[in-house]
Amino acid sequence: MPLYFSEREVVLPGQLLSDDDKRSGEGTYVLGNKVYAATVGFATIKNDKVCVIPFKSTYNPQPGDRVIGVVIDVKPNGFDVSLGRHLTATIRIPDKKEVQALNLKVGEVVYGTVKESGLRGVFLETGEKIKKVTSGLLVSMHPSKIPRLIGRRGSMINMIKKETGCDLLVGRNGFIVIKGPSPSNEFAALSAIRLIEREAHSQGLTERVENLVRSILGGESHGEG
């Protein structure tokens, strides 16, 4: 069945996307065996489904999502963690010794995995799946733009890492930690992130991001691969 859009094309509500109703994914609806856009966003294919990624959507935590959060409360049996945009997750640890071993304080940053998300709240995995982030620059972008930052098969983020020499931890909730060899390298990575956030829907973005980073760092690649 043909598709009626190009990859990452900006689409409008009601726009025809496909003749195959079985390929209807998130951000779409089916009418008369055809798939239409349900929201303004960019159209793409995910797991062989036609999807529309909205420009402005709230983050909806899903089990398995990797997220970055800031500790906002320390309790005898765990921690409360802000995931941004009024969203709070809980790290529940019955063993008080494990709570003490993590040694997390209010204001510290953690990198974790969503275990459960529902009416009872959002809970993060414990044990080895929760890491304290001890250094780096914490920044944020709209969660709906995170897939564009990552790129197809990690192409965009890997390019930024290579060109800046920075390590990037990315949370699906929109928080990102940049850790680089110098402030100028971290600034280059931050500038790339801001450009992607502003122009996520545009064509030729990868080349513009690469050119921006190279102009900031003097035209040389600062990574090892």
Q: What pLDDT sits at residue 2?
A: 82
Among residues 81, 102, 133, the one where a domain terminates is 133
Residue 1: inside a domain: no
Which residue is it, tokens 């600034």?
187
pLDDT band at 127 (very low <50, low <70, confident <90, very high): confident
Residue 61: inside a domain: no
Residue 97: inside a domain: yes
Residue 4: inside a domain: no
Q: How far lies 115's CA from each of 14, 93, 157, in Å?
A: 35, 13, 25
Q: Do 212 and 142 have their domain in common?
A: yes
| Higher per-residue pLDDT: 27 or 57 | 27
Q: What pLDDT sits at residue 218?
A: 85
172-189 tens-digit pLDDT: 999 999 999 999 999 999
CA distance 2 to 61: 32
CA distance 80 to 102: 13
CA distance 69 to 143: 13
Q: Which domain holds residue 204?
A: 137-216
Number of domains the chain is built from = 3
User: Are 193 and 200 spatial neighbours (Cβ–Cβ below 8 Å)?
Assistant: no
Residue 80: inside a domain: yes
Q: What pLDDT sits at residue 56?
A: 64
**Does pTM surpass 0.75?**
no
